Amino acid sequence: MRLSDGYHGPRFWSQNGHGRTQTARVLVTNPDTELIDDGSSVWLVTAVPDPGVRATVEAGGSFEDVRRQLRASPGEYTVVQVSAGDELTVRAHRGVTSSYEVFFLRGSDGTVVVTDLFRNALAQLSVDERTVTDEIVASHLLYRAVPTGTYVAEVGRLEHGESLSWEPASGPPERDLTETLTSPPTCTDGTRALDDALRRSMAYESADSVASMLSGGVDSTLVHTYLPENAPSTSGAFETPEFDFEVDYARTASSLLGTDHDFVTAPETSFTARLESVIDAIGMPPQQLQAPTIDMGLNETDWGAYVCGEAADSLYGMGAGTAQTVWQTRFLRHLPAVHPLLESHRNRARELVRSPWDPRGLAQQSSQYLDQDYVSEFVDERLVERLQRKRLAYASARVPLVEDTDRFRAHLDWGHWIGRFCENTLTAYRQIAQARGKALRAPFASRAVTEAALSVSVPQRYVSGRESKHIPKRLLAQRLPGYETSKPKGNGNLPEGRFLRSGPLVSAQERYEVPAFAPVSSWDDVVERSPGMGWILLSWAIWRDRVLQNDDLRPVPHTRMLDISP
């Protein structure tokens, strides 16, 4: 493993024979991905719902023909074509709303590698060719997912809406942003638009083999109402009292829906072992404390495909009601913070009165989970602010943002789109599913649903009165009248502070050393100041020892692998 000092970028191509190796290796884990061999090329097509791309390929369609057909579909998609003519050529495209990943690199043996699972990509590199940069460290400390790129510099990732063209014998890969969202006509009924979009994006051919990941929250419950009658549901939970209300949510939703619900539980003493198992499987350090819980629901049930409600919050307004209340009472920020609620109000109000261009304003802080000043003690503050602006630039290149003349509207809109494109918890959960040989489908990540949300003007898209996510809540009330849409939101989080101070993560701190980049000497120094920082540093330390420095990584057992040569 290399640190970032003196690093000059990944080795995708070089002038020596090692760099000109004309062999490609394709590794596929997603059961929803079709492998199509047309005689001269191998295609990887992941599209839900399936728009019938196989017929186009078998009829001799070009890459542009296939991409055009996918872009006209309502769902999520990626496509890869590896051609083995006189010269090896790789082309790929990722839909602008899609969380289906395409990783690419040149392995340590010179092989061109394309895969959909990060662990399988990392397994193609020897330990001394895995580089972690300061930017990767900073992104891990700040966000729920590395917004762009991956956890090692040598592995590239196709970003939202990008197309890849790579002739390995001639030069490095070239990427261009070729697909963006445009503002559709403004609709007058956002609930009807969402209903229509969910119907189109959930037109699954194999619906009888799909189970819903039913947390019992608004999003997962709404998604389940579009599945066929008698569709099963599943969820996981650690046996910890802080999680009891979420268990009740799942049971209540299952009862209202009439589902055959498979509830997977485990003692909290098993949390560390299950966390280690997840990190081993996906090859990344999860930011999400819920990762082992998600893994239980996927790995210990028997369906091949699952449907979840991820991505709804960023489209329809998580936390927008609170933000509106603070904005309307922002003058109270001048009062002494004699109560914790006033302190919280003052901090949020200060974020709202800043410009949305400000890295410390609400828009750019919306999907940032640790205090910026604290993170700046670990990495350079200028890098932190550059990463904040980089996320805004990423989102603004892909979707038309509202003008900054109305500060509150801009904070809401920019922050939610940054969350949609750059936080992307769905990516981590989908990597878990694929590492276990399962398909994870997310209707709220489809193009149809994204455009339905975009058709509602801001701030009406995000908040009605003081209620956030009113559009999916209203639709769920219509489809499942007995559901209580006003109940407090759950998020699947476990008590990280207790786990680190007296629970199952204490033993992990005894086995794994604090990361070298942390300016502290012991876990206690971190945990007592910020359990959140303690958690993400511990996930990094486990990943470092079990994956990053492991020179015996191999593809996960169910991987479909092809070697292709001209």
What are the domain boundaries of the chain?
17-180+551-564, 190-311+424-479, 319-374+387-421
Any residues with CB less than 8 A from the CB of 353 and at least 6 apart, and which? 330, 333, 407
Any residues with CB less than 8 A from the CB of 486 and at least 6 apart, and which? none
When mean pLDDT is compared across 7-21, 294-308, 311-325, the lowest value belongs to 7-21
Q: What is the pLDDT of residue 18?
A: 47
Give pTM, 2 decimals.
0.94
Q: What is the pLDDT of residue 17?
A: 42
Write down the residue that tokens 């929250």 correspond to: 217
**pLDDT tens by residue, 514-540:** 999 999 989 999 999 999 999 999 999
**pLDDT tens by residue, 127-161:** 999 999 999 999 999 987 787 899 999 999 999 99
Distance of CA 199 to the CA centre of its chain: 23
Q: What is the pLDDT of residue 343?
A: 83
Backbone angles phi, psi at 76, to 5 degrees: -100, 150
Highest mean pLDDT of the ranges 5-14, 297-306, 394-403: 394-403
When mean pLDDT is compared across 83-87, 220-224, 475-479, the lowest value belongs to 83-87
Torsion, CA 221, CA 224, CA 229, CA 230, rounded to 10: -80
pLDDT at residue 20 is higher than 70: no
Q: What is the pLDDT of residue 11?
A: 60
The Cα–Cα gap between 474 and 472 comes to 5
Tokens representing 234 are: 């599943």
**pLDDT tens by residue, 410-425:** 999 999 999 999 987 8
The mean pLDDT value of the chain amounts to 91
Q: What is the pLDDT of residue 327?
A: 83
pLDDT at residue 34 is higher than 60: yes
Q: Tell me the pLDDT band of 491, cut-offs 50, 70 and 90.
A: low
Q: What is the pLDDT of residue 205?
A: 62
When pLDDT is averaged across residues 252-264 and rounded to a whole number, the result is 94
Q: Strand 112-115 and strand 76-84: pairing?
A: unpaired
pLDDT at residue 338 is higher than 80: no
Q: Which amino acid is at 449?
A: V
**pLDDT tens by residue, 383-402:** 999 999 999 999 999 999 99
Q: What is the pLDDT of residue 7?
A: 45
When pLDDT is averaged across residues 377-381 and rounded to a whole number, the result is 93
When pLDDT is averaged across residues 265-291 and rounded to a whole number, the result is 95
When pLDDT is averaged across residues 366-387 and rounded to a whole number, the result is 90
Q: What is the pLDDT of residue 115?
A: 98
What's the sign of the alpha-carbon dihedral 308, 314, 317, 320? positive
How far apart, in Å, do the first and last CA atoms of the chain sit?
32
Q: What is the pLDDT of residue 8?
A: 45
Q: How many CB atoms lie within 10 A of CB 188?
A: 9
Q: What is the pLDDT of residue 15?
A: 43
- Confirm if 5 and 134 have CB atoms less than 8 A apart: no
pLDDT at residue 340 is higher than 90: no
Percent of the chain with pLDDT over 90: 77
Q: What is the pLDDT of residue 6?
A: 41
When mean pLDDT is compared across 203-207, 302-306, 330-334, 342-346, the lowest value belongs to 203-207
Q: What is the pLDDT of residue 204?
A: 79
Fold (topology level) of 17-180+551-564: Glutamine Phosphoribosylpyrophosphate, subunit 1, domain 1 (3.60.20)
CATH class of segment(s) 190-311+424-479: alpha beta
